[in-house]
């Protein structure tokens, strides 16, 4: 025996669940202000991702230019800089 609930009961349950969700959101501090904060965070992340992509593109171009110089025999390394990089880490502390 299959008993179906009337349509108005289902709609009432849907509204009740929605109200519970809204109440829970308010209790957690959700609302328009949190949406604005989340939107700002997403926009900032997008800007950072764009700048990261731009930096990677610039690096790729510089590496390609350096490869071309090396291939043509025009690149001369600064031996003092090479020695400094071999002897010191980024904090200018000797590695030896």
Residue 53 has pLDDT above 70, yes or no: yes
24-51 pLDDT per residue, tens: 555 555 555 678 888 888 889 888 888 8
Buried b (16+ CB within 10 A) or exposed e, 4-27: eeeeeeeeeeeeeeeeeeeeeeee
Residue 62 has pLDDT above 80, yes or no: yes
Of 74 and 17, more confident: 74
Instruction: Transcribe 56-73 into DSSP letters.
Output: HHHHHHHHHHHHHHHHHT
Residue given tokens 């959700």 in the structure block: 30
Mean pLDDT across the chain, nearest whole number?
Answer: 76
Residue 58 has pLDDT above 90, yes or no: yes
**What's the CA gap between 16 and 51, in Å, rounded?**
45
């Amino acid at each position: 025996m299959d008993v179906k609930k009337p349509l108005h009961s289902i709609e009432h349950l849907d509204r009740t669940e929605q109200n519970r969700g809204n109440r829970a959101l308010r209790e957690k501090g959700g609302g328009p202000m949190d949406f604005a904060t989340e939107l700002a965070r997403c926009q900032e992340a997008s800007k950072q991702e764009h700048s990261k992509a731009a930096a990677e593109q610039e690096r790729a171009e510089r590496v390609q230019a350096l490869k071309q110089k090396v291939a043509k025999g025009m690149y001369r390394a600064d031996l003092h800089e090479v020695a400094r990089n071999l002897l010191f880490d980024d904090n200018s502390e000797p590695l030896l």
